[in-house]
């Protein structure tokens, strides 16, 4: 059974204070690791897909990296508008569906 654990559960940052979110996973045959952003009262919004260890993707102040056991979402010089819950999910050998972690709630204070 695929499993995803995200840490920390919550993160409070000052504007400009860079940090990293962790996503540890156990999966039989990784077919993709996904990062989503979720704002309060909204559905998850797609950020990145990573497929193999060593892969990196960037979007504005966000950078996602992948190893064989975990993924990191680095937030560089965050702004208050980066405040959201960040969700990690994996698609394993069973295919056709994502297994999500519990998310990390990020609050960036001005």
Partner 1 sequence: NAGVTQTPKFRILKIGQSMTLQCTQDMNHNYMYWYRQDPGMGLKLIYYSVGAGITDKGEVPNGYNVSRSTTEDFPLRLELAAPSQTSVYFCASSWEGASGNTIYFGEGSWLTVV
**Shortest reach from residue 59's CB to partner 1, in Å:** 13
Rule CB under 8 A: choose which of 22, 24, 31, 74 binds partner 1. 31
CB count, 10 Å around CB of 39? 12
Within 40-99, which residues bind partner 1 (CB under 8 A)?
A: 41-46, 49, 51, 87, 89, 91, 95-99
Sign of CA dihedral 43, 7, 89, 110: positive
Nearest to partner 1 of 31, 74 (CB atom): 31
Q: In angstroms, rounded to a whole number, what is the distance separating the alpha carbons of residues 4 and 81? A: 26
Rule CB under 8 A: choose which of 11, 65, 66, 103 binds partner 1. 103
Nearest to partner 1 of 41, 54 (CB atom): 41
Ramachandran area for residue 96 (φ above 0: left; ψ -120 to 50: alpha; else beta): left
- Kindly give, in sequence order, each residue whose CB lies less than 8 Å from that of residue 82, ignoring residues fewer than 6 positions away: 61, 62, 75, 106, 108
- Which residues here bind partner 1, judged by CB under 8 A? 4, 6, 9, 31-32, 34, 36, 41-46, 49, 51, 87, 89, 91, 95-103
């Amino acid at each position: 059974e695929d499993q995803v654990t995200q840490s920390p559960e919550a993160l409070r940052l000052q504007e400009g204070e860079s940090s990293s979110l962790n996503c540890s996973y156990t999966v039989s045959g990784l077919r993709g690791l996904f990062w989503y952003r979720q704002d309060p009262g909204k559905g998850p919004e797609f950020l990145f897909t990573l497929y193999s260890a060593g892969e990196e993707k960037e979007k504005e102040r966000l950078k996602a990296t992948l190893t064989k056991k975990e993924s990191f979402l680095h937030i560089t010089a965050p702004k208050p508008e980066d405040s959201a819950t960040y969700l990690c999910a994996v698609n394993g050998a069973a295919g056709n569906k994502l297994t999500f972690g519990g998310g990390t709630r990020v609050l960036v204070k001005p």
